[in-house]
Amino acid sequence: MDTASKQIEDYILQHIDEEPAILKRVTHDTNLYTLKPRMLSGHLQGRMLKMFCNMVSPKNILEIGTFTGYSGLCMAESLTEGGILHTIEVNDEMEEFLDRVFSESEYADKIQLHIGDAVKIIPELDVVFDVAFIDGNKRHYVDYFNVVYPKMRVGGIMIADNTLWDAHVLEEDTKDAQTLGIKRFNDMIAADDRVEKVIVPIRDGMTIIRKVR
Ligand SMILES: C[S@@+](CC[C@H](N)C(=O)[O-])C[C@H]1O[C@@H](n2cnc3c(N)ncnc32)[C@H](O)[C@@H]1O
């Protein structure tokens, strides 16, 4: 990040809501204990996720890709009475870390962690979702959307992260599997008239998708 962008980011962070203390601890522990701490959403994106969720007043939220729990905790802040966050993580080595983080949270009884592949788990969930956050393996975004869409209520919001993939989506003849996965997803969503969609160029790109039928 160049100096001007860093200064703007610092300015933004000084002028938006603070992160709750638990999220500062999650960020600290993610840096200490994981190999790819940059996967964590972070302060700005986390507050945006909470804001988007609050606009929908969700009862049920779905997340693909829990990682260390940061984005899930942000979205759990917006759950209405009796609401549940179903968050799915395929890496079972994260289970102990996540059990500790979620049990320390004031939303512990509203968070259901599923360990396994989201593509297999989601069809088995008997839940209608108001919000879904897609943040798993970039190669499989099309598969995620295809299992998530039928579980969404009409008017529900799906948020897909990293949809600009550090501008690699502009590469015409890429062979990189993650870039190809994101490009396939973006093309599919662009052509799908069952959903409204907009790409927000925050961080690595977030696509906001609303199910209209
Ligand atoms: C970018 S990280 C998620 C970051 C997290 N949502 C946050 O913002 O703090 C992606 C996570 O998705 C998980 N993942 C990859 N494929 C998955 C799948 N098929 N089902 C569930 N989780 C998956 C990875 O193990 C990784 O922890």
Residue 24, pLDDT score: 98
Locate 9 and state its tokens.
Answer: 């980011």
- Per-residue pLDDT of 28-78, as tens digits, reads 999 999 999 999 999 999 999 999 999 999 999 999 999 999 999 999 999
Residue 4, pLDDT score: 87
Q: 7 in ligand 1 pocket by Cβ < 6 Å?
A: no
Placement of tokens 């600290």 in the chain: 28
8 Å CB contact between 116 and 95: no
Q: What are phi and psi of 85, to 5 degrees?
A: -100, 120
Q: How far apart are CA 40 and CA 84, in angstroms?
A: 21
Placement of tokens 């799906």 in the chain: 158
Among 36, 88, 89, name the best residue to mutate to test ligand 1's pocket (greatest count of ligand atoms within 8 A of Cβ): 89
Distance 18 CA to ligand 1 centre (A): 24
Full DSSP string of 69-136: SHHHHHHHTTPPTT-EEEEEES-GGGHHHHHHHHHHSTTGGGEEEEES-HHHHGGG----EEEEEE-S
Q: 77 in ligand 1 pocket by Cβ < 6 Å?
A: no
Domains and CATH numbers, the chain: 39-211 (3.40.50.150)
Distance 4 CA to ligand 1 centre (A): 31
Q: 40 in ligand 1 pocket by Cβ < 6 Å?
A: yes
8 Å CB contact between 185 and 142: yes
Q: Whose CA is nearest to atom 9 of ligand 1?
A: 40
What is the position in ligand 1's atom list of the atom closest to the CA of 69? 9
| pLDDT less than 70: residues of the chain | none
Helix (H), strand (E) at residue 152: strand 152-161
Strands 60-64 and 195-200, by their bridges, are unpaired
Residue 2, pLDDT score: 82
Placement of tokens 């972070």 in the chain: 42
Q: How far apart are CA 198 and CA 18, in angstroms?
A: 26
Residue 1, pLDDT score: 74
Strands 152-161 and 206-211, by their bridges, are antiparallel
- pTM (2 decimals)? 0.97
